[in-house]
Amino acid sequence: MVGFEMSIDFEIRKSDNRAMKGILRIFRLEFLPQSGEFAILVVRLWLGLTMLLNHGLDKLLTFREKADMFLDPLGVGSTVSLMLAVLGEAVGSTLLVLGLFTRSAALSLVVTMGVACFLVHGGSLSGERSGELAFIYLAGFLAILIAGPGRFSMDQFLFAGRAGK
């Protein structure tokens, strides 16, 4: 009789253990695919499209109206400052979305967001003149600059295996 009770007790603990493992898998989100390459694609598309649609296109389409009154944080003139901003925010973000010349595009955006965050907003991350959004973009673009374009990119398609040739 004792052996039978031990057997039942063991089976209950075994099924409890399986249930607990299943619950832990759910909380750890193990059912989601784990892919660094896919993550790079998501970040490139998310940040690139947001930058292009919310900032770059507006500057590009209203260039003439903004050219004379655009801030000049680098002391190169309003028109040149706007051109540099458009280069990063419209051209750079388009290249980033395509995954074409990704690291150069990310570098242009890192510089643009660095200027916006630290020169235009004075490095402030809160308050009226907050550069928090530029700071967050800066972090994302810096991560892409370091990580590279990833497997799902035009760079990979066009240039893979050609380095150093």
Whether residue 82 contacts residue 63, with contact meaning beta carbons closer than 8 Å, is answered with: yes
Position 9 scores a pLDDT of 53
Q: Indicate the average pLDDT of the chain.
A: 89
Residue 129 CA to residue 127 CA, distance in Å, equals 6
Burial string for 70-98 (b: 16+ CB within 10 Å, else e) reads beeeeeeeeeebbbbbbbbbbbbbbbbbb
Find the domain containing 8 and state its range.
1-32
Q: Could you tell me if 91 and 138 lie in one domain?
A: yes
Per residue in 45-55, pLDDT tens? 999 999 999 99
Q: Could you tell me if 6 and 71 lie in one domain?
A: no
Amino acid identity at 117: C
Phi then psi dihedrals of residue 118, to 5 deg: -95, -30
Residue 148 CA to residue 159 CA, distance in Å, equals 13
Q: Could you tell me if 7 and 79 lie in one domain?
A: no
Residue 151 CA to residue 157 CA, distance in Å, equals 8
Position 22 scores a pLDDT of 79
Position 3 scores a pLDDT of 54
In three-state secondary structure terms, 164 is coil
Residue 6 has pLDDT above 70, yes or no: no
Read off the tokens for 27: 């909380």
pLDDT band at 5 (very low <50, low <70, confident <90, very high): low
In a domain, 101, yes or no: yes
pTM over 0.95: no
Q: Could you tell me if 95 and 40 lie in one domain?
A: yes
Whether residue 155 contacts residue 149, with contact meaning beta carbons closer than 8 Å, is answered with: yes
In a domain, 165, yes or no: no
Q: Could you tell me if 57 and 77 lie in one domain?
A: yes
Residue 33 has pLDDT above 70, yes or no: yes
Per residue in 91-133, pLDDT tens? 999 999 999 999 999 999 999 999 999 999 999 999 988 999 9
| CA gyration radius, the chain | 25
